[in-house]
Amino acid sequence: MSVEERVGREMHALMAELYPICRSITGDGVRQSLAILGRHIPLQIEEVASGTAVFDWAVPNEWNIWDAWVKNAVGEKVIDFQQCNLHVLNYSVPIHRRVSLGELQEHLHSLPEYPDWIPYRTSYYRENWGFCLSDRVRQSLPEGEYEVFIDATLAPGHLTYGEYYLPGESEDEILLSCHSCHPSLANDNLAGMAVATFLAKALQEKKRRYSYRFLFIPGTIGSITWLARNEDRVSRIKHGLVLACVGDPGHLTYKRSRRGNAEIDRAVIHVLRQAARPYDVVDFSPYGYDERQYCSPGFNLAVGSLTRTPHGRYPQYHTSADNLDLVQPEYLADSFATYLAVLDVLEKNKTYLNTNPKCEPQLGKRGLYGALGGLQDTREREMVMLWVLNLADGTHTLLDMAERAGTSFALVSQVASVLEAHGLLTAVAPD
């Protein structure tokens, strides 16, 4: 089994462990989930009190749930939270009373177009109660009286998030952010959490120029809270990616940062193009995941989002069919490898000066012709060597050179190392 295959399986196993937990934007489900991730990486857990002002928002009351059901007139459970946590409207207030079918219907959510799937619905900022169920079950409910019960609390408490800072040579940071606020949903939430966790583990083992900051936060309110508490540190973030929907069979999709052509945008697009497989690139829009907050005009960070099929674009999105079968180890592994390749570009992207800029240096006498591997790609390597020497004028980065030469960053970077070792290039210190 290759390393990638093994990591793919481990990420899927981590998701399977997290899957049954009822998460929300606050509450014990988030704490439990972060504790599980904490067995893989030394997560720092932050608790922010309800009511704390965060820019134009306030940290909401904390929601916890133990049980919820609807019983029919003869006392049989027709909807049961213990069977699937999507059955309860996330953030429902507690309730215990008898209602008619007519009143119950006003609080039910189903998907007639997918009659066997349970939808995922929330009501974070408007107090309400409700149940989600398959349309097939909903249509089968007879007239009569029902008993509804939601054993939950919505009360002052905390918003919980996890943060892991992995230092590198420089204080300049790369931000990797994912949301961790959805209950039993696999691609939308757990896949991002699993890939982020395993990226952190992989990066621990690597030499790092950059420092890395991993955030496991509730969508929207989590990034707003983090930005409000860390405003003075935000300028250290040089590049960032929001991870989500990274485990489905669809191809990779990159959503550009608001800046549009930042180094992160160019690095991701370069890696996708070089992979010679289908991919999509979409421009920034103020919708989606937490890139909305990182790219708000007051921050305008160089943060894009690399997903597979974007949110809302696959039928299983926000339903019980976004499960552990939709997400497969091979797709997780492919996303993981792509993220690592992008981070490798950022780590190694430097500017060089040709120490012998007046005409080409004589490569033959230095043993550089035909010496770079001696494989069938020798000719390509020689061409890349000429490009690197030509563009090493202190203004072009290795990524610029790779794009100009129409070749992979990895090859350009390798060639630059060889030329540097022969004294033909010197790295220009970053400003």
- Which pair of structure tokens corresponds to residue 308? 């597979």
Q: E strands within 286-325?
A: 303-307
The residue among 182 and 256 lying less far from Zn ion, judged by its C-beta, is 182
Measured CA to CA in angstroms, residue 155 lies from 57, 222, 400 at distances of 17, 18, 53
C-alpha 151/C-alpha 94 separation (Å) is 6
C-alpha 185/C-alpha 21 separation (Å) is 10
- Residue 106 CB, shortest distance to Zn ion, in Å, is 24
Q: Measured in Å, how far apart are the chain's first and last C-alpha atoms?
A: 43
- Which pair of structure tokens corresponds to residue 325? 């079968």
- Residue 129 CB, shortest distance to Zn ion, in Å, is 21
Stretch that binds Zn ion, among 133-141, 184-192, 335-343, 345-353 (CB under 5 A): 184-192
- Residue 36 CB, shortest distance to Zn ion, in Å, is 20
Number of residues that bind Zn ion (CB under 5 A): 1
- Which pair of structure tokens corresponds to residue 244? 């989500």
- Which residue lies nearest Zn ion, judged by its C-beta? 188
C-alpha 63/C-alpha 334 separation (Å) is 35
The residue among 28 and 188 lying less far from Zn ion, judged by its C-beta, is 188
- Residue 182 CB, shortest distance to Zn ion, in Å, is 5
- Residue 189 CB, shortest distance to Zn ion, in Å, is 6
- Residue 307 CB, shortest distance to Zn ion, in Å, is 11
Name the strand (E) or helix (H) holding 269.
helix 263-274
The residue among 29 and 361 lying less far from Zn ion, judged by its C-beta, is 29
Specify the DSSP class assigned to residue 73.
T
The residue among 188 and 265 lying less far from Zn ion, judged by its C-beta, is 188
Tell which positions 259-298 bind Zn ion, by CB under 5 A.
none
The residue among 278 and 312 lying less far from Zn ion, judged by its C-beta, is 312
The residue among 160 and 187 lying less far from Zn ion, judged by its C-beta, is 187
Q: Which of 10, 28, 188, 265 binds Zn ion (CB under 5 A)?
A: 188
Stretch that binds Zn ion, among 104-112, 181-189, 294-302, 401-409 (CB under 5 A): 181-189
Name the strand (E) or helix (H) holding 18.
helix 3-18
- Which pair of structure tokens corresponds to residue 35? 């504790």
- Residue 161 CB, shortest distance to Zn ion, in Å, is 17
Kind of pairing, strands 108-109 and 62-71?
unpaired
Residues in the chain: 431
Stretch that binds Zn ion, among 1-9, 180-188, 271-279, 392-400 (CB under 5 A): 180-188
Q: What are phi and psi of 359, to 5 degrees?
A: 65, 170
Stretch that binds Zn ion, among 47-55, 187-195, 203-211, 233-241 (CB under 5 A): 187-195
- Residue 160 CB, shortest distance to Zn ion, in Å, is 18
The residue among 201 and 313 lying less far from Zn ion, judged by its C-beta, is 313
The residue among 60 and 288 lying less far from Zn ion, judged by its C-beta, is 288
Stretch that binds Zn ion, among 185-193, 235-243, 365-373, 381-389 (CB under 5 A): 185-193
Q: Are 328 and 12 contacting, i.e. CB atoms less than 8 angstroms apart?
A: yes
Q: What is the identity of the amino acid at 237?
A: I
| Site of tokens 């857990």 | 45
Residues that bind Zn ion (CB under 5 A): 188
